Amino acid sequence: MVADLPGRTSQIRRVKIAGLSTYVPPRVLTNADLERMVETSNEWILQRTGIRERHIVDPGVATSDLAKIASEGAMAEAGITADQLGFIVVGTTTPDTIFPSTACVLQEKIGAPNAWGFDLGAACSGFTFALNTAAQMIATGNCDYALAVGADVMSSIIDYTDRSTCVLFGDGAGAVVLAPAADGEPSILDFAGKIDGSGGPALCMPAGGSRMPASKETVEQRMHYVKQEGATVFKFAVKNTEEIARRLFERNGIDASQIDLFVSHQANRRIIEAAADRMGLAPEKVVINLEKYGNTTAGTIPLATQDAIDAGKLKKGDLVVFAAVGAGYTIGTNLWRWAI
C-alpha cells in the first residue's frame, strides 16, 4: 500500500504490457561483409556466436531515431496517443548524447507533453531494468501509461578492426507500453535484479567518462570502443542467467516446466542454450533469433519477443520469462503472464 496523495491511488495496481513494437535499420552487415573487413570467416562467427548478420544504421542515425519508430508502433498497438503517456524510460548504452538524455529527445520526437522520464544505464540488461522501472510507476499510481524502451546503436561504439567484438553487435530498438491490468487480466508477476561491479573490467568502454575524458591519447589508443574478455563474460552469463531465473521460480512457487517461453538476452547462442539446458527447458520454449540481428544490447529482448509472437510461440496468458546479463555486471529477470 502507498499513502493517499492527491491524484494517486492508494492501492498497488497490477500491470500489463499493452503494446509492443520493434525496429531495426534496413542496412544489413553480413558475415561475408565482415570477412572483407577483418580477419574472420562466416564459419568462425557461426560456430562461436550463432550470428549470420546484423542491422547497422546509416551515418547520422541515432538511438532516438530507432526508439521513435518502435515507440510509435507500441502506442498504436496499445491504442493510446502520446499525450496519454506519463512516463518514459529508455534503457540504452548508446544515448544520442551524454546530455540531454535520450528520453528527453524521444519525448519531444513523439510529442508526449505530459511525460517525464530518464535514461537507464544497465547495458544488455537495460530493457529488463527499464521494464520493471516503468511497471512500478504504473503500480504505484504515478501514471496510467508508461513507455519502456530498449534501444542501442552499438555500431557507434564498435571497433571494426577488432574481430573479437565487431562480429557480435548490431543496432535495434524495442518499446512497450505498460498500463494497469484489469481484474483477471494477465500481468507482471515479479522481477529480480542484481549487480556485480567486480566484473566491470571484463566488458566496458574504457574512455569517454569522467575518469578518462576524451583526449588525443584515448582516441589514438581506440579506448572509446567496446572491450570484452569473452571467456570471462561467457561463464558469468551462463551461471547468472540460470541463477536469477531460478530465484524468480522459487519465489513464485513455480517450476521451470511451467514456463511457456524463455526470452533471453541474445548475445551468444551457446550462452542461451547452456542456461536453458541447466534449467531443464525444452528447446521449443526458448527463443533464439540472434542469427538475424546479433547483439543489439537493450534491444534484444523486445526483438526476440516480437519474433516469438510472429512465429506463434507466444500467446495471451502464457507464462514468460525475460532474462539478461550485461556489462557492469548487471542481471535482470522479469516474470509475466502475457497480456496481448
DSSP element (H, E) containing 291: helix 290-293
Residues in CB range of 304: below 8 A, 6 or more apart:
263, 264, 266, 287, 288, 289
Of 132, 143, 240, 265, which is the active-site residue? 265
CA distances from 241 to 177, 189, 257, 265, 290 (A): 25, 18, 17, 9, 17
The catalytically annotated residue of 31, 104, 124, 334 is 124
Q: Is 252 a catalytic residue?
A: no
Cis peptide before 225 (omega within 30 of 0): no
E strands of 26-82, at which residues? 28-30, 53-55
204: β partners: 227
Residue 295 annotated as catalytic: yes
Determine phi and psi for 148, rounding to 5 degrees: -115, 125
The DSSP code sequence of 71-95 is: HHHHHHHHT--GGG--EEEEE-SS-
Residues in Cβ contact with 320 at an 8 Å cutoff, skipping those fewer than 6 apart: 259, 260, 261, 262, 263, 305, 314, 335, 336, 337, 338
Measuring CA to CA, how many Å separate 250 from each of 105, 203, 246, 253, 256? 40, 30, 6, 5, 10
- Whether 265 is a known active-site residue: answer yes
Residue showing cell 501509461: 145
φ and ψ of 322, to 5 deg: -105, 135
Which residue's entry shows cell 531515431?
65
Give yes or no for a cis peptide into 100 (omega within 30° of 0). Answer: yes
Residues involved in catalysis: 124, 265, 295
